[in-house]
Chain A
């Protein structure tokens, strides 16, 4: 009981101060303070949908994208260890990477209905504030066209 009574004001204080949830590794804070975010574009992931999304993120964070191109594995490994903030690319629905990184809502879709291939922004696990921002912008972009 005492525990809950103590917790409630703590949560309210946090909400009042803003910045909740926060990133364990401070991605969003760093993007805001350094005005740069590091993007990895998987070979098949370029194109107008990805470009529009990167521009959106640049506009809302007032930061400039630093874009690298590469293969799926090297870019996702870099994302996982924090050397990239965002990867955009196509992943299969049952890709084993889905547990190791956070897949944001798709920007575009191709492939068959049974085995769709989705163009997703991908973020590092646990960076919840940064992930929330990416999710919001992916939703605002309208998602895959039917």
Chain B
């Protein structure tokens, strides 16, 4: 059993992901400041600001989880800290779903109430400038970092089988889409279309809620020892299927149970003694490329529940 540090195969990618998340935190804080300065009385800008703040949760949780995950097992935590990643995944999924619901609630309320939003002006160097221009600039700025960071995260999350990092990529997607909707909304507001802002936001919130709910389902499945799921859906993981197939072929007439702890898969063979000199690391699993994913194979001899 590996209970110390990250496997060598993923160490480089883990370091890359940690670096990327530090950048993510830094840029997100700068966006929160810029949006905070320009938001004024606009409810749409306030909602975007709250969302940007919620966007800090997944990268922070990832940094905490990756720190704990590498720790060795202790007297009080016999199985190590792999599941901190699962816990972080649940927290990030809740944050993502909250962003979607918040956006939908806010825009639906504005549409129902038919609220006309005032965006006033400021005097700057003797000129009266509509605050909408500053809001547009802030929104444009808020789009760029999540667009770039989210795209960089996706391939790393795939290689690391990291659902928490994947959820953060979805959060970044949610944030830049919200920024784009905000731009359309404020530009529309300037045209005298009071509903533009809310309509654009409501439309985008549906996609975010769907991503958030999907992540919540997978995170819950992981925490209640469900069968390992794929990275971006509730479907079963291909790698888990390969492991189950190989174990079934080798230990017929047994039950094979699989669960996931963070990025690792643990297998149990029910109704068989462990063969002499059995080594889980060298057990042949045709088609499984990332051996590091298989954390352990445990055996329950026949006759025991």
Chain B contacts with A in 85-140, Cβ cutoff 8 A: 115-121, 123, 128, 130, 132, 136, 140
Interface string of A19-55 (1 = CB under 8 A from B): 0111111100000000000000000000000000000
Chain A contacts with B in 106-142, Cβ cutoff 8 A: 123-128, 131-132, 135-136, 139
Contact assessment for B190 and A21 in the assembled complex, using a CB-CB cutoff below 8 Å: yes
Which one of A2-10, A58-66, A69-77 is at the B interface? A2-10
Enumerate the 7 nearest inter-chain pairs by beta-carbon distance, A residue then B residue, closest first. A126-B116, A22-B192, A21-B190, A102-B118, A24-B192, A136-B128, A24-B194
B240 beta carbon closer than 8 Å to chain A: no
Residue A7 contacts which of B120, B128, B184 (CB distance < 8 angstroms)?
B184
7 new A-B contacts at CB < 8 Å, known A20-B130, A24-B194, A125-B118: A4-B180, A10-B187, A11-B136, A21-B132, A22-B191, A128-B132, A132-B128
**Provided the pairs A11-B136, A132-B128 are in contact, do residues A102 and B192 lie with their beta carbons within 8 angstroms?**
no
Contact assessment for A20 and B128 in the assembled complex, using a CB-CB cutoff below 8 Å: no
The SS class assigned to the B binding surface is mixed
Residue B116 contacts which of A22, A24, A139 (CB distance < 8 angstroms)?
A24
Contact assessment for A132 and B121 in the assembled complex, using a CB-CB cutoff below 8 Å: yes
A65 to chain B, nearest CB (A): 22
Chosen A-B contacts, 6 in total, with CB atoms closer than 8 Å, are A14-B190, A20-B130, A21-B191, A22-B190, A126-B118, A139-B123
Interface string of B259-281 (1 = CB under 8 A from A): 00000000000000000000000
B156 beta carbon closer than 8 Å to chain A: no
**Provided the pairs A4-B180, A20-B190 are in contact, do residues A125 and B117 lie with their beta carbons within 8 angstroms?**
yes
Q: Give the residue among A11, A102, A128 with the most B Cβ atoms within 10 A.
A: A128
Chain A residue nearest to B116 (CB atoms) is: A126
Residue B120 contacts which of A3, A124, A132 (CB distance < 8 angstroms)?
A132
A106 to chain B, nearest CB (A): 14
Residue B192 contacts which of A10, A23, A132, A135 (CB distance < 8 angstroms)?
A23
B194 to chain A, nearest CB (A): 5
B118 contacts across to A, CB distance below 8 A: 102, 123, 125-128, 131
Q: Give the residue among B117, B143, B184, B192 with the most A Cβ atoms within 10 A.
A: B192
**Provided the pairs A124-B116, A125-B116, A139-B128 are in contact, do residues A4 and B187 lie with their beta carbons within 8 angstroms?**
no
A14 to B121, CA, bound (A): 18
Contact assessment for B194 and A21 in the assembled complex, using a CB-CB cutoff below 8 Å: no
How many chain A residues touch B (CB < 8 A): the figure is 25
A17 to chain B, nearest CB (A): 11
B193 beta carbon closer than 8 Å to chain A: yes
Contact assessment for A11 and B192 in the assembled complex, using a CB-CB cutoff below 8 Å: no
Residue A21 contacts which of B115, B140, B184, B192 (CB distance < 8 angstroms)?
B192
Residue B119 contacts which of A10, A21, A25, A123 (CB distance < 8 angstroms)?
A21
A26 contacts across to B, CB distance below 8 A: 192
Residue B115 contacts which of A25, A125, A135 (CB distance < 8 angstroms)?
A125
Contact assessment for A135 and B120 in the assembled complex, using a CB-CB cutoff below 8 Å: yes
A3 contacts across to B, CB distance below 8 A: 180, 184
Chain A residue nearest to B132 (CB atoms) is: A21
A61 to chain B, nearest CB (A): 16
A126 to B119, CA, bound (A): 7
A22 contacts across to B, CB distance below 8 A: 190-192
A10 to B183, CA, bound (A): 12
B14 beta carbon closer than 8 Å to chain A: no
A131 to B132, CA, bound (A): 13
**Provided the pairs A10-B187, A136-B121 are in contact, do residues A21 and B116 lie with their beta carbons within 8 angstroms?**
no
Contact assessment for A126 and B132 in the assembled complex, using a CB-CB cutoff below 8 Å: no
B257 beta carbon closer than 8 Å to chain A: no
B10 beta carbon closer than 8 Å to chain A: no
A135 to B124, CA, bound (A): 13
